[in-house]
């Protein structure tokens, strides 16, 4: 984790994200990428989590979205709700590792494109 990342306190994607007990949203790469992880989806009136992806063990997923910084209320400004990367996981431990790995990957690529922003 880095000091220049912005952590959001809500699910960053998925129309039923508010029903996910697990969520991480992090704005990285000088505000150009939102990495969002959701999981442990509990549908209304259900006690057991359901999958959110296409596979039988897809209980968690991480997606990346193009962003343009923060608005006046400190919410990420998404350029599109269409994700450009997605990974899915069986458990929260792998989901957290995958979330931060994706954040680091996009941070490195932003640094390679604009090294002057990190001087």
Contacts of 34 by beta carbon, 8 Å cutoff, 6+ apart: 8, 12, 25, 26, 27, 28, 64, 65, 67, 76, 78
3-state secondary structure 4-69: CCEEECCCCCCCCHHHEEEEEEEEECCCCEEEEEEEEECCCCCCCCECCCCCCCCCEEEEEEEEEE
This prediction has a pTM of 0.87
Could you list the pLDDT tens digit for every one of the 119 residues in the chain?
Answer: 688 899 998 888 888 888 999 999 999 999 999 999 999 999 989 989 999 988 999 999 999 999 999 999 999 999 999 999 999 999 999 999 999 999 999 998 875 544 444 34
Contacts of 41 by beta carbon, 8 Å cutoff, 6+ apart: 16, 19, 20, 21, 49, 50, 51, 52, 59
Q: Phi and psi at residue 24, in whole multiples of 5°?
A: -135, 135
């Amino acid at each position: 984790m880095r000091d220049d990342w912005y952590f959001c306190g809500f699910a960053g994607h998925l129309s039923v994200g508010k029903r996910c007990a697990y969520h991480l949203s992090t704005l990285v790469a000088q505000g150009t990428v939102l990495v969002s992880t959701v999981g442990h989806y509990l549908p209304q009136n259900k006690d057991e989590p359901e999958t959110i992806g296409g596979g039988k063990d897809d209980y968690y997923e991480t997606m990346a979205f193009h962003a343009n910084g923060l608005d006046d209320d400190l919410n990420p400004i998404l350029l599109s709700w269409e994700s450009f990367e997605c990974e899915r996981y069986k458990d929260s431990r792998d989901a957290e590792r995958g979330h931060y790995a994706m954040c680091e990957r996009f941070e490195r690529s932003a640094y390679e494109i604009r090294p002057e922003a990190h001087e």
